[in-house]
Structure 1
C-alpha cells in the first residue's frame, strides 16, 4: 500500500515546492540582459572618452563637457538604434502573423497537417502529434502556429518605445560612473580612480551578463575587463600624444 497521501478525488497532492513557470520569463531575462549590456556600453564608451580627454587636458570643465556630451549622444544614439531595430522586428512579426491568419482562414486543413508535422518533428508519436495539434488549433489556432512555427508569442510582441527607454536609461546609468569618477576627485588621482571604478563596474556587468546567459563568468569577466582596459589605455595614450604635440 502506498504511503503517499491522496486527495479526496484520488489524485496526488501538488508538491509543496515546485519550479514556477511564468509567461514571458524568457522575454524578461532578455530585457534584463539587454539592460546590463547597455550599462556596460555606457561605462566603456564614456570612460574611454573622458580618460582620453584627461590624457590631453587637466581642465575639469573640459572633462565635464566631454563626459556629458558623450553621455547624451551615446544614450540618445542607443535609444534611437534600439527603437529602429525593435520596430523593424515588430513589423516583421506582425507581417508573419498576418500571413499566418490568412493561411489559417484559406487552408485550415493544410495548416493542421503542417502543425501536426511540426510536433512529430519534435518527437511526438503521430497519434499524439495529431491530437495535440487538433486540441491546440481548437483552443487558439493562431497562437499554436505562431509559437511552434514562427517562434512568436502574439501577446508578447516587444514595444519599440519600451526598448528605447530601457536602452536610454541603462546607458545613462552606466555612463554616470566614469563621468562622476573623472570630475569629482582631485586632478592628481582622477584618472586612477576612474580606471579602478570602471574596472570594478566591468567585473560586475561581465559577471551579471554571464550569469543571465547561464555561461561561466570567468571568461566573460576577463573579456569585459580586458576590453575596457584596452579602450581606456588607447584613448589615454592618444590624448597624451596630442597633448605632447601641442594639439
Structure 2
C-alpha cells in the first residue's frame, strides 16, 4: 500500500500510463529506449548501470521520485538474482591475472527495460510500495559546456537514497554529486553511475559514512582505471 489514498492513486495512474507507453517486451532486434554510452559491462558494473537506466527512463515520464527509486531497486534486485552468465561474451578480457566476464551494454539494457516493464505490470495490480516519511529537498540544476564540443560533466540527485538501496534501519538520507569531466565524459559517467553504489556497499557505511565514502572513491577509481585500460579511455573526473 502507498502512504495515502491520494498518493496510491497517483502511483497507480503513473503505472497505467507508463505501461501503455512502453510497448514491451523488447525483442532481440529492437532498439532500447536509452542506449548505454559504454559498449561493455562487467559484473561489478551491473547494479549501477541497471539503477541508472531505470531512473533515467522513469524520470523521462515524470515518475514520482520515491516511486522511481522503489521501481529501480525492485528491478535491479530481480535482475541480480538471475543468472547473467548466459549473456557473457564468449571471449573474456584479461583483467590482471583473472579473466573478466563481460556482457554487451545494449543486451543488459534490453534485459533491464523488460524487467522494469514486468515489475510495473505486477505493481499496477498490487502496489507493494509504501513511501516512508522523508525530508523534502528543493533542488535545481544548471549546466553549461562553454566552448567544448559536448558536455563532459555529470550530476547525480538521489533524494530517496534509502529507498533506492532498501535501507531500513537508518535515518533518511539523500545523495547529491557533481562530477567534472576532463578530456571526455566517460569517467564522469562511470563515477555518476557507480560511486553511490560502491558507497552503500561498504561494510562501514552505517557506522562511519565518511570512511565509507573515502573507500568508495578509492574503489571507484581503481575500477575505472582498469576499465579505461581495457577500453583505451583517456579521461578523468573530479
TM-score of the pair, normalised by structure 1: 0.23
Q: Which has the larger radius of gyration?
A: 1
Which one has more relative contact order, counting CA pairs under 8 Å at least 6 apart?
1
TM-score of the pair, normalised by structure 2: 0.24
Identify, as 1 or 2, the structure richer in helix. 1
Identify, as 1 or 2, the structure richer in strand. 2
